[in-house]
């Protein structure tokens, strides 16, 4: 599933990132890499997705979240 589809208060891991090189550099620079564990803090329509990963709260735009494939895991 895409990160933009996850509900708030769910935990997951990053399965794969998009293939756009500019996007990869930007997203990995903030610590979101394949295999990283995260928690969706808030996911309201038409708003950035708030994600807590590697002790950092990230606000990711929805278009970026559509390029990130994730798997939900039990907390």
What pLDDT, on the 0 to 100 scale, is given for residue 20?
87
Does the domain at residues 3-73 carry the CATH identifier 2.40.30.40?
Answer: no
Domain regions of the chain by residue span: 3-73
Residuewise pLDDT in 10s, the chain (75 residues): 999 999 999 999 999 998 889 999 999 998 899 999 999 999 998 899 999 999 999 999 999 999 999 999 986
Q: Residue 2: count other Cβ atoms within 10 Å of its Cβ.
A: 12
- pTM (2 d.p.): 0.89
Residue 52: per-residue pLDDT = 97
CB 8 within 8 A of CB 45: no
Burial environment of residue 38 by CB neighbours within 10 A (0 to 12, 13 to 18, 19 or more): buried
Give the pLDDT confidence score for residue 28 in this predicted structure. 92
């Amino acid at each position: 599933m895409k990160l933009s589809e996850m509900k708030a208060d769910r935990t997951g891991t990053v399965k794969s990132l998009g293939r756009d090189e500019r996007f990869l550099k930007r997203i990995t620079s903030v610590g979101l890499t394949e295999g990283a564990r995260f928690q969706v803090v808030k996911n309201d329509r038409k708003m950035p997705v708030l994600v807590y990963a590697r002790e950092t709260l990230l606000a990711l735009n929805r278009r970026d979240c559509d390029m990130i494939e994730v798997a939900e895991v039990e907390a």
